[in-house]
Structure 1
Amino acid sequence: MEYQNEEYVTCDHLIKMKFKVGKIVKCTEVNQSNRLLCFQVEVGNKTCQILSGLKGYYKTEEVIGKKVMVLENVKTTRMAGLKSEGMLMVAEDREGKLALMVPDRDMEAGVEII
């Protein structure tokens, strides 16, 4: 695999990122947006709100209880008037379809992804 015109990251960059397993406990549509869903995600002993542009890819009821990969230490941002306190990791296929990254085994919410 050859990378062109891309900046490489070092281990120093990666160790700053805190990836954890989260459990989606609630999901609602964001009325002010045609792309955003608002997720309440349990990560260990806390629940954080994460906005993600997955409205066309998932129904709110189908993601409840799903374990997902969360980037926890992202600076809080505001989208459509709501705060987002993390980032859900997704993959994008060649057709532009998005899919949540999920553990292939049952993992406890809050465990660190290393």
Structure 2
Amino acid sequence: MRQLLRIGELAAQAGVSPRTVDYYTQLGLLRPAERTDGGFRMYEPAAVDVIGTIRQLESHGIHLNDMTQALNAETDGDVSRALAELDVDLTALRDAVAAAAPHSHAILELITARAHALITAGIEIINSPLI
């Protein structure tokens, strides 16, 4: 028999409030595995990792509504096209750094670190049981 978590147990393990779990569920970012006869939502243990991913994406400036829209999109995103555009943007950033005045390098370093963090988050999503 699989071990499912009640909302409070999930919240405690994920380090969030039950209200946060409820909100993520309302948005469609979390999906209960089943409901008990009493109507309680039960979640897979993997939902703890999903909450961690949601919070990580939030920390990188991805809005919950954007996550919800992406998950509920009618068509699959064109990841290859987006990666090609990212490659063009990274090339432009390299060129900008080469031409930039030294005092602007700190800002460009922050932008580069943010891009790296988002790429790392993307790789983690690919390797996780996200949503």
Shorter-chain TM-score range: under 0.3
TM-score, length basis structure 1: 0.26
Structure with greater helix share of residues: 2
Structure 2 length-normalised TM: 0.24
Greater fraction of residues in strand:
1
State which structure, 1 or 2, has the greater radius of gyration over its C-alpha atoms: 2
